[in-house]
Structure 1
């Protein structure tokens, strides 16, 4: 799997995660979607990784993906930021996987 992060997206990620330690994760979120194959791809900033997270090196930083959810992603993807919609976007050469993706800051819970 190959992920590229545009300069616009990298700048917004830095701005929104400033002074926060953690990891950038592409999450296939199925909460409230009915079943495991119905989900929405989200961009999370997490303080801890799961044992099943796989590291994907990008042109900007490491992005993590759950191993069991890799089937829902394309082989080549780009994380971009749209100023027009003020949202992140996840694209591949053949499709837009999520055109209105927020960066969700997940805090550690005990």
Structure 2
């Protein structure tokens, strides 16, 4: 899996990660909907990947992972952009838009 970061998205992610160790986990959040096929994508800043995470190729400046069980919900090549002046992201592929109001939540302790 590969995520192409726009320059604005890369800048915003690096700002939010800051000087602390961290990487970004792409998630497919199904909590509250009761069905695994009606989830929404999200981004979480985490300390370290867990044993179920696999690396997502996103360039050299921001480390990305995804839970191997959630890979099926996303295509192999996507683009992540940020809305200028906002803190929400847009995730697209050639075939669809995954979300236009994707939140980045810092879950580091």
TM-score normalised by the chain length of structure 1 = 0.88
Paired residues of 2:17 and 2:23 also in contact (CA < 8 A): no
Query: Deviation at 1:15?
Result: 1.2
Q: Aligned partners of 2:95 and 2:36: how far apart in 1?
A: 23
Question: What does residue 46 of structure 1 align with?
Answer: 46
1:23 aligns with 2:49: no
Matched residue pairs, number? 108
Structure 1: runs of 5 or more not aligned: none
Question: What does residue 97 of structure 1 align with?
Answer: 98
Query: Deviation at 1:35?
Result: 2.2
Cα RMSD of the aligned pairs, angstroms, is 1.5
Paired residues of 1:4 and 1:78 also in contact (CA < 8 A): yes
Q: Aligned partners of 1:95 and 1:68: how far apart in 2?
A: 20
- Runs of 4+ in structure 1 over 3 Å off: none
Q: What pairs with 1:4-19 in structure 2 (closer than 5 Å)?
A: 4-19=4-19
